[in-house]
Chain A
Amino acid sequence: MSGLRMSNWLIVYVGLFLLFLYAPAILLPLFAFNDSAVISFPLAGFTWQWFATVVDNESLHRATRNSLIVAVSTAVFATTLGVFAARAGTRFSFPGKRGMMGLVMVPMVLPEIIIGVSMLVVVLQLGLSLSLMTIILGHVLICTPFSTAILGAAFQGLDRSLEEASIDLGRTRLTTFLLITLPLVLPGIIASLLLAFTISLDEFIIAFFLTGTEATLPVYIWGQLRFPQRIPGLMALGTILLVVSLLLLVCAEYFRRRAARNMGRGEQRELF
């Protein structure tokens, strides 16, 4: 009996938890389609007009372009660094390896505000001016641990004798890496690219500290919040970003799983 009551409480708890977690995300599309400039209930009716303001807005387009540049660059750099780190971590042994791999992972748990402030200090000390480049630097710093973790799993799942067989059959280390290693960890690489892209695309704090004259989308949105009449438009923009992020994350997860049940070894297990 008490078990039943427990589970009732559990359902209520889970319900509240989910509401708390997702209500804001549901409000976003709700008001994006609401035919009223004021964000309040009751809803007024259905409209596409806020999406139209998004389509027409020049400075929004510019911010979107900046964000895409930053996110794509971040994804490429973080994944490249991740490949190197994951490869070193799984194939070679060198003194201080554990400590080194730990250090690569640290930015994952550092508060972003600390990273933002300290990078700002460093950039200014070096006499560099703030630009998209500085934002990319900051984003690479926070994305590399994620990329390394995903790629580490992909490299770990790769049967080492596949690479040795390739060398044994007359290939060099480089062609082996290109013909055997890369294709087999490709799902991991794609997952890493997608995840780093998604993280960078909606990152605000670090971008806020490191933005010069060119703002990224989140920084632009924050700037627009001062103008109440633009808020429904931001809701529409937020809805678009939400959908895009969700799609990207689903893709990333799909490829991460493919990498996880990696070829090489996974198949061996099914065999017998």
Chain B
Amino acid sequence: MSETVNPTLPIIRTVAVDKSFGSVEALRSVSLEIEQGKFFTLVGPSGCGKTTLLRVMAGFEQPTRGQVFIDGKSMEGVPANKRPTNMVFQSYAVFPHMNVGENIAYGLRSKKTPADRIATLVAEALEMVGLAGYQNRPSHALSGGQRQRVALARALVLKPKVLLLDEPLSALDKKLREQMQSELRNLQRNVGITFVLVTHDQEEALTMSDQIAVIFGGEIAQVASPEILYRRPNSREVADFVGVMNFLNVSVLSEHGTRRRVEVEGLGIVEIEEDQAPRGLVGDIVAGVRPEQFTILFEDRASADRCCSGTVTEIQYFGDMTYYAAKLEGCDKTVTISMRNTAGRRTLGPGDKADIGWRSESVLILS
């Protein structure tokens, strides 16, 4: 199927999709374009509608309003078994009464593939997910990670245009999860099929994706690359959900053209470029600074263009990083500062005075 994909069209396009379950509005006016060949991630807190959106794409749920296009064709009235998508379920849904080989051949058989061709394809698919030679294993004898690989192979062997994955890693322990993250990423690059992954874990979204859509309460909050999403979140909610953000009160001093001056609590007067205030300076605004954008200045004062002082109130040691909570001088705010523990760098303790360096381009104005 994937041969016929038109590379200039978005592979999936949703247009103003609403989905209600009785009185629950699970999706509200979701419009998305997913580019062909990308690793696309839907991320959001639990219950925000990620699974519902994935199931709408797969054809398991019908949108209440709005439309879904896959590879340019409207999916209205197209049932799940006729769509060029395949899904990896959260529970993996490996058929317990079939062995690994039968599981993977299941979809090929429904397409009336010749038997010898099936055997080759199954062997190739198993090799691709690192389970070469597992054809005759009974599926109840598989570990969680192996089950997931079987589910992946079973879907990919059909060469869908889009692979949909619903929280595929959430049931695995931390080590295995990290290993599978990079395996999935590499697998996607190798097969070139568009992956749409659902996760509630923003870190997982950042490390794996080409493009991320953040969903809150059934609505798309932002669609961006991992880097933009982290560096330039477009709202306070997104900034808070993706990574850690220090929020400080802010008031507008002047605004002519592109020159904007604001006064940030604890930091003083800051000049802001246009892209540092994605929604302008109106309404209920707040300044945001990421923990790594603050630096505790030991000797290397030159590296920061601005400086303020504070008192360390708490430290959290993570081995490679140390997280400080520091109360800023002149206001009542405590900010989080993260410092890499490079060779020879001291750590401070609670009660120590610290000079804190920062740069004006690190300040975001959010609403």
Interface residues of A (CB under 8 A from B): 159, 161-162, 164-172, 175, 180, 183-184, 263-264, 267-268, 271-272
Q: Which of B93-101, B220-228, B298-306, B338-346 contacts A (4 or more CB under 8 A)?
A: B93-101
When A and B form their complex, which 10 residue pairs have the shortest distance between CB atoms, in order from nearest? Answer: A169-B107, A165-B93, A263-B96, A170-B110, A161-B93, A161-B89, A168-B87, A167-B81, A171-B110, A162-B93
Chain A neighbourhood of B79, CB < 8 A = 167
B80 and A164 contacting across the interface, CB-CB below 8 Å:
yes
B252: Cβ under 8 A from any A Cβ: no
New contact pairs (5) apart from A171-B81, A175-B110, CB-CB < 8 Å:
A164-B87, A171-B110, A184-B97, A263-B140, A271-B143
Measured between alpha carbons, how far is A272 from B158 in the docked complex, in Å? 29
B97 and A183 contacting across the interface, CB-CB below 8 Å:
yes
Measured between alpha carbons, how far is A165 from B139 in the docked complex, in Å? 15
19 A–B contacts, CB within 8 A, in A order: A159-B91, A161-B91, A162-B96, A165-B87, A165-B151, A167-B80, A168-B80, A168-B86, A169-B106, A169-B155, A170-B81, A170-B110, A170-B111, A180-B95, A184-B97, A263-B96, A263-B140, A271-B143, A272-B171
A172 and B93 contacting across the interface, CB-CB below 8 Å:
no
A168 and B143 contacting across the interface, CB-CB below 8 Å:
no
Chain A neighbourhood of B87, CB < 8 A = 164-165, 168
Chain B neighbourhood of A263, CB < 8 A = 96-97, 140
B97 and A169 contacting across the interface, CB-CB below 8 Å:
no
Interface string of B140-168 (1 = CB under 8 A from A): 10011001000100110010000000000
B360: Cβ under 8 A from any A Cβ: no
Chain B neighbourhood of A184, CB < 8 A = 96-97
Most buried by B among A172, A175, A183, A267: A267
A172 and B144 contacting across the interface, CB-CB below 8 Å:
no
Chain A neighbourhood of B107, CB < 8 A = 169-170
Our pick among A159, A162, A168, A183 for the contact of B81 (Cβ within 8 Å) is: A168
Chain A neighbourhood of B106, CB < 8 A = 166, 169, 171
Chain B neighbourhood of A271, CB < 8 A = 143-144, 147
Our pick among B60, B96, B147, B154 for the contact of A169 (Cβ within 8 Å) is: B154
Chain B neighbourhood of A180, CB < 8 A = 95
CB distance from A269 to the nearest CB of B (A): 11
Measured between alpha carbons, how far is A45 from B144 in the docked complex, in Å? 64
Q: Which residue of B lies closest to A162 (CB)?
A: B93
Measured between alpha carbons, how far is A173 from B62 in the docked complex, in Å? 17
B110 and A169 contacting across the interface, CB-CB below 8 Å:
yes
CB distance from A265 to the nearest CB of B (A): 8
CB distance from A258 to the nearest CB of B (A): 12
Measured between alpha carbons, how far is A170 from B91 in the docked complex, in Å? 19
Q: Which residue of A lies closest to B87 (CB)?
A: A168
CB distance from A94 to the nearest CB of B (A): 14
Q: Which residue of B lies closest to A268 (CB)?
A: B91
Measured between alpha carbons, how far is A263 from B91 in the docked complex, in Å? 13
Q: Which residue of A lies closest to B85 (CB)?
A: A168
Measured between alpha carbons, how far is A255 from B106 in the docked complex, in Å? 27
CB distance from A228 to the nearest CB of B (A): 56
CB distance from B19 to the nearest CB of A (A): 17
Chain A neighbourhood of B140, CB < 8 A = 263, 267
Measured between alpha carbons, how far is A10 from B227 in the docked complex, in Å? 74
- Contacts A164-B89, A168-B87 given; indicate if A267 touches B110 (C-beta within 8 A): no
CB distance from B168 to the nearest CB of A (A): 13
B239: Cβ under 8 A from any A Cβ: no
Interface string of B201-240 (1 = CB under 8 A from A): 0000000000000000000000000000000000000000
Measured between alpha carbons, how far is A149 from B87 in the docked complex, in Å? 33
Measured between alpha carbons, how far is A267 from B150 in the docked complex, in Å? 15
Q: Which residue of B lies closest to A262 (CB)?
A: B96
Q: Which residue of B lies closest to A168 (CB)?
A: B87
Measured between alpha carbons, how far is A271 from B92 in the docked complex, in Å? 12
Interface string of B312-355 (1 = CB under 8 A from A): 00000000000000000000000000000000000000000000
Our pick among A164, A175, A183 for the contact of B93 (Cβ within 8 Å) is: A164
Which residues of chain B from 67 to 114 have a CB within 8 Å of any chain A CB?
79-81, 85-87, 89-91, 93, 95-97, 106-107, 110-111
CB distance from A63 to the nearest CB of B (A): 41
B91 and A168 contacting across the interface, CB-CB below 8 Å:
no
B58: Cβ under 8 A from any A Cβ: yes
- Contacts A170-B111, A171-B110, A272-B144 given; indicate if A159 touches B93 (C-beta within 8 A): yes
Measured between alpha carbons, how far is A170 from B106 in the docked complex, in Å? 9
A267 and B93 contacting across the interface, CB-CB below 8 Å:
no
Measured between alpha carbons, how far is A159 from B85 in the docked complex, in Å? 21
CB distance from B99 to the nearest CB of A (A): 13
Q: Which residue of A lies closest to B83 (CB)?
A: A168
Measured between alpha carbons, how far is A161 from B89 in the docked complex, in Å? 7
Chain B neighbourhood of A169, CB < 8 A = 81, 86, 106-107, 110, 154-155, 158
CB distance from B12 to the nearest CB of A (A): 16
Interface string of B155-186 (1 = CB under 8 A from A): 10010000000000001010000000000000
Most buried by B among A166, A170, A175, A268: A170
Measured between alpha carbons, how far is A264 from B87 in the docked complex, in Å? 17
Chain A neighbourhood of B154, CB < 8 A = 165, 169
Chain B neighbourhood of A172, CB < 8 A = 81
Chain A neighbourhood of B111, CB < 8 A = 170
CB distance from A218 to the nearest CB of B (A): 39
CB distance from A155 to the nearest CB of B (A): 15
Q: Which residue of A lies closest to B139 (CB)?
A: A267
Chain A neighbourhood of B110, CB < 8 A = 169-171, 175
Measured between alpha carbons, how far is A61 from B58 in the docked complex, in Å? 59
A165 and B89 contacting across the interface, CB-CB below 8 Å:
yes
Measured between alpha carbons, how far is A172 from B80 in the docked complex, in Å? 9
